[in-house]
Amino acid sequence: MTMAKAINAGLRRVLAEDPKTLLMGEDIGKLGGVYRITEGLQAEFGEDRVVDSPLAESGIIGTSIGLALRGYRPIAEIQFDGFVFPGFNQITTQLAKLHMRSEGVLTVPVTIRIPFGGGIGSVEHHSESPEALFAHTAGLRIMTPSTPHDAYWMIQEAVASPDPVIFFEPKRRYWLKGDVDTEHRAAPAASAQVVRQGSDATVVAWGPLVPVALAAAQAAQEDGRDVEVIDLRSLSPIDFDTITASAQKTGRLVVMHEAPTFGGLGGEIAARVTERAFYSLQAPVLRLGGFHMPYPPSKVEANYLPDIDRLLEALDRSFAH
């Protein structure tokens, strides 16, 4: 099934299994969401469980916090990544901190679904990658799937978590098809997965860029370079053990993401792996991302987003050392 259908199936399962779960968001009910991720759920579970909210992201998040404090497990949808910022204050100053502020007495199991990333030819504020802003805030778990199977199981894991979760959905991969095993769970979201074994270099990617990394690794194979690919899956916490072990094996590491390289999560990963595996590295850890500029108009977004050619060029630079 597609990733969109996999998320829909995962949401249907949690709604059916736990009467304390409910969905909230703009146009998610009768319309089924902009991307039809919640299609059919309101008809099945009713308007009290799948709520068409007002156009007010701060209100959506604030209401979700209140519901969580009353024992519910709200799943809030932010229609597009760039629309999350009106609710950013609620997320970072309230949602992320209530558990610690109450010395562990209160839990706020809110899941916030955010379609993120570019590659769909959309207009301003519809193609952002704000994951580093949330990863910098302690108290939030951050997940992002890259396959339908992971999407199906990770959304259920997010909803079941006692902690608030930011669930980034790579919107340009909504139509990516793959096998979904509804009986056997995916690996826990906190664990990064080696999705391609290799011996000469490691590429770390997540969400929308995992297919790009795999395609580049296949192209590099034709040049005699055996590239390992890691799907990070969890952006907070980060599974540094898996990344470090791979970098120690291959001696080279490239981290890629759609967000601007400057201030991005790639810098944190590069620093941690350099600290842990300095004497195993044969080249500096390289970062590959978007440019330090507002997301460009759709006609030129292909020049902004990291692609196979830019990743292969980064690998060339790594092997030049």
Please indicate, yes or no, whether residues 202 and 146 belong to a single structural domain of this protein.
no
Task: Judge whether 188 lies within some domain.
Answer: no
The answer to whether the CB of 247 falls within 8 A of the CB of 202 is yes
Please indicate, yes or no, whether residues 80 and 47 belong to a single structural domain of this protein.
yes
Task: Judge whether 141 lies within some domain.
Answer: yes
Mark whether 126 is an active-site residue: yes
User: pLDDT exceeding 70 applies to what percent of the chain?
Assistant: 100
Please indicate, yes or no, whether residues 201 and 108 belong to a single structural domain of this protein.
no
Do the strands 253-260 and 286-290 form a parallel or antiparallel pair, or are they unpaired? Answer: parallel
Instruction: Please give the distance of CA 295 from its chain centroid, rounded to a whole number.
Output: 18
Please indicate, yes or no, whether residues 59 and 11 belong to a single structural domain of this protein.
yes
Of the candidates 42, 41, 53, 48, the residue with the CA atom closest to the CA atom of residue 11: 41
Residue 266: CATH number of its domain = 3.40.50.920
Determine the pLDDT at residue 241: 98
In 10 A of CB 18, how many CB atoms?
A: 13
Please indicate, yes or no, whether residues 168 and 314 belong to a single structural domain of this protein.
no
Please indicate, yes or no, whether residues 245 and 292 belong to a single structural domain of this protein.
yes
Determine the average pLDDT of the residues in 178-182. Answer: 96
Structure tokens at 50: 């799948």
Q: Which residue did the predictor score with more confidence, 270 or 223?
A: 270
Task: Judge whether 162 lies within some domain.
Answer: yes
Domain count, the chain: 2
pLDDT at 177 over 90: yes
The answer to whether the CB of 124 falls within 8 A of the CB of 293 is no
pLDDT at 52 over 90: yes
Residue 254 β-bridge partners: 203, 286
Distance between CA atoms of 70 and 152, rounded to whole angstroms?
A: 27
Task: Judge whether 221 lies within some domain.
Answer: yes
Please indicate, yes or no, whether residues 15 and 134 belong to a single structural domain of this protein.
yes
Determine the pLDDT at residue 258: 97
Which of 106, 139, 173 is the endpoint of a domain? 173
Please indicate, yes or no, whether residues 78 and 212 belong to a single structural domain of this protein.
no
Task: Judge whether 178 lies within some domain.
Answer: no
Which of 173, 207, 242 is the endpoint of a domain? 173
Residue 129: CATH number of its domain = 3.40.50.970
* Average pLDDT of the chain to the nearest whole number: 97
Task: Judge whether 179 lies within some domain.
Answer: no
Per-state percent for the chain, helix, strand, coil, to nearest 5? 40, 20, 40
Please indicate, yes or no, whether residues 293 and 164 belong to a single structural domain of this protein.
no
Which three-class secondary structure state does DSSP give residue 212?
A: helix
In 10 A of CB 199, how many CB atoms?
A: 12
Task: Judge whether 29 lies within some domain.
Answer: yes
Please indicate, yes or no, whether residues 215 and 283 belong to a single structural domain of this protein.
yes
Instruction: Please give the distance of CA 167 from its chain centroid, rounded to a whole number.
Output: 6
Determine the pLDDT at residue 228: 98
Determine the average pLDDT of the residues in 155-159. Answer: 98
Please indicate, yes or no, whether residues 164 and 198 belong to a single structural domain of this protein.
no
Please indicate, yes or no, whether residues 214 and 309 belong to a single structural domain of this protein.
yes
Task: Judge whether 247 lies within some domain.
Answer: yes
pLDDT at 161 over 90: yes
In 10 A of CB 233, how many CB atoms?
A: 28
> Which pTM was predicted?
0.96
pLDDT at 321 over 90: no
Which three-class secondary structure state does DSSP give residue 262?
A: coil
Structure tokens at 306: 């990291």
- State which residues form the domain around 66: 3-173
Of the candidates 283, 274, 130, the residue with the CA atom closest to the CA atom of residue 207: 130
Kindly name the residue from 99, 125, 126, 321 that is annotated as catalytic: 126
How far, CA to CA in Å, does 78 sit from each of 59, 104, 175, 193, 209? 11, 27, 19, 27, 21
Of the candidates 237, 230, 235, the residue with the CA atom closest to the CA atom of residue 252: 230
Which of 173, 208, 239 is the endpoint of a domain? 173
